[in-house]
Structure 1
Amino acid sequence: MAEIILLHSAQGLRPGVLGAAEALREGGHVVRTPDYYDGEVFDDLESGLRKRDTIGFEELGRRWRAIGEQARGPVVFAGFSLGGFGAQVLAATHPLARGALLYHGCAAVPEVSDRGWPVTVPMQLHYAEGDPWVNADDVRSLRTELGPIFACFIYPGNVHLFADPDLPGYSAESASLMWKRSRDFISQV
């Protein structure tokens, strides 16, 4: 059984994130879904991005580190979009990190860690092939930097956050496959 810290997107701790936590708990894992957005939830991305900008990346980093400090044992950091960036930062720098699950977004390693990526922390990335928020150069950079500990799964479609059943572009089939692959990943780390 693994501890998983699942970070929400810029739209806040939406019901879809709580549903994702349930999908990951099916593997018998402990999943925490901390709120780093002061309880605010947004139906549209633009409002969520305004909240992100109001908080600022320096403060978000502080909040993510505080969340990471609550880990008590080996942990997999996971996150959606903006939360994926937070999960990536924590997975690259936290001494108890055992894996990273990134949903609908990623960053190149130099953006998250000046020490490089730890070879003991495998990563999975999941996104839709036409997701306008995923940078192909960042994906190539991760593939090059991480090599065999990096797995990338690309799903049909052109929307961001396809796994949230309350948002436009939800794909039940893709989401189901993503959760299965995620549980398999967690069981191996």
Structure 2
Amino acid sequence: MEALGAELVYVGFSFGVTIAQRLAQTRPGARGALLIDACLPVTEFGEEWPAGVPVQVHGKEADEFFDEDLPSARDLVRSTPHAELFLYPGDQHLFADSSLPAHDPEAAAVLLERMRSFLASV
């Protein structure tokens, strides 16, 4: 039986990033992580980001909630060549959720395209 976490890409939005990031950093065989609207310090779940595990972090540049996590996202990107940070103009949190007033269709479309490319590459 294959170990849980093997060959998975973990995805989290906002508070869900906590779970996705923890799993990507601690489960052997993780294929990647997509962290949207949040990013925790890598040291929350270990010494460093796992070698060879690609990660993308997405957020709005003026989102007051993401602003707290932006230093952690930048540190993550500096710590590994397998990390990318994408900042979108605006201040909406959960901008990809079409059921919310914060939805930004243009930014959500770009996010979706970047996510598809990421998933195709892992």
Alignment TM-score, normalising by the size of structure 2: 0.89
State the shift of 1:144 in Å. 2.0
Pairing 1:126–2:58 present: yes
State the shift of 1:140 in Å. 2.2
In the TM superposition, what whole-angstrom CA distance separates every residue of 1:43-72 from its partner, at most 9, and x where no partner exists? xxxxxxxxxxxxxxxxxxxxxxxxxx9847
Which residue of structure 2 aligns with residue 145 of structure 1?
79
Residue 101 (structure 1) aligned to one of 24, 27, 34: 34
Distance 1:72 1:87, change over 3 A: closer
The structure whose Rg is larger is 1
Distance 1:185 1:143 in 2: 15
- Where in structure 2 are there 5+ consecutive unaligned residues? none
Instruction: State percent identity of aligned pairs.
Output: 41
SS in structure 2 at match of 1:97: coil
SS in structure 1 at match of 2:65: coil
Aligned length in residues: 119
Distance 2:92 2:32 in 1: 25
Which residue of structure 2 aligns with residue 85 of structure 1?
18
2:78 alignment partner AA: T
Please identify which structure carries the higher helix content. 1
1:122 alignment partner AA: P
- Where in structure 1 are there 5+ consecutive unaligned residues? 1-68
Distance 1:70 1:95 in 2: 8
Q: Which aligned segments of 4 or more residues in structure 1 are displaced greater than 2 angstroms?
A: 69-73
